[in-house]
């Protein structure tokens, strides 16, 4: 039995909100959320110490199908790269240094456990 898409979206949005709060506590400046380009989406776009950071957030309620960060496959990474290229071109920040972070949010008993993978790929 799979969770319905609405339930997954609610979980995903809650995970993104937790990730934003976490990153802000680390000093990241959040530039935007849910940036779409072609068929890709970047969950969070931020700036950290002058570097443009594209953040993929993965949220899980259980580890039944693996850890959240394990779902950022090479195929997903390539889609994120292409989407980030669209952002850079659209916002005219071609000379900016960029990186990709992954924030894994594991929800246990209503509490979020966050693992941050800086410069993940």
Q: What are the CA-CA distances from residue 35 to residues 40, 60, 85, 109, 111 (Å)?
A: 8, 21, 12, 30, 26
More confident residue, 2 or 25: 25
pLDDT at 1: 44
pLDDT band at residue 28 under the 50/70/90 scheme: very high
Q: In which order are the strands placed within the sheet that holds 29-37?
A: 29-37, 40-48, 51-60, 98-108, 111-117
Mean pLDDT of the chain: 91
Q: pLDDT tens, 80-109?
A: 999 999 999 999 998 889 999 999 999 888
Work out the percent of the chain whose per-residue pLDDT is above 90. Answer: 72
Q: Return the closest-CA partner of residue 57 out of 87, 22, 31.
A: 22
Fold of 5-117: Trna Endonuclease; Chain: A, domain 1 (3.40.1350)
pLDDT band at residue 66 under the 50/70/90 scheme: confident
> Is-contact 116 83, C-beta < 8 A?
no
**Which residue, chain included where needed, has tokens 């959040």?**
30
pLDDT at 3: 57
Would you kindly state where each structural domain of the chain is located, as residue ranges? 5-117
């Amino acid at each position: 039995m799979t969770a319905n898409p609405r339930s997954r979206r609610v979980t995903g949005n809650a995970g993104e909100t937790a990730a934003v709060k976490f990153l802000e506590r680390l000093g990241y400046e959040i530039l935007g959320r849910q940036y779409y380009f072609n068929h890709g989406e970047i969950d969070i776009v931020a700036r950290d110490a002058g570097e443009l950071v594209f953040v993929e957030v993965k949220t899980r309620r259980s580890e039944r199908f693996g850890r959240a960060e394990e779902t950022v496959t090479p195929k997903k990474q390539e889609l994120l790269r292409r989407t980030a290229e669209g952002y850079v071109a659209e916002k005219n920040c071609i000379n900016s240094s960029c990186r990709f972070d992954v924030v894994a949010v594991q929800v246990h008993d209503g509490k979020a456990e966050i693992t941050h993978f800086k410069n993940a790929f």
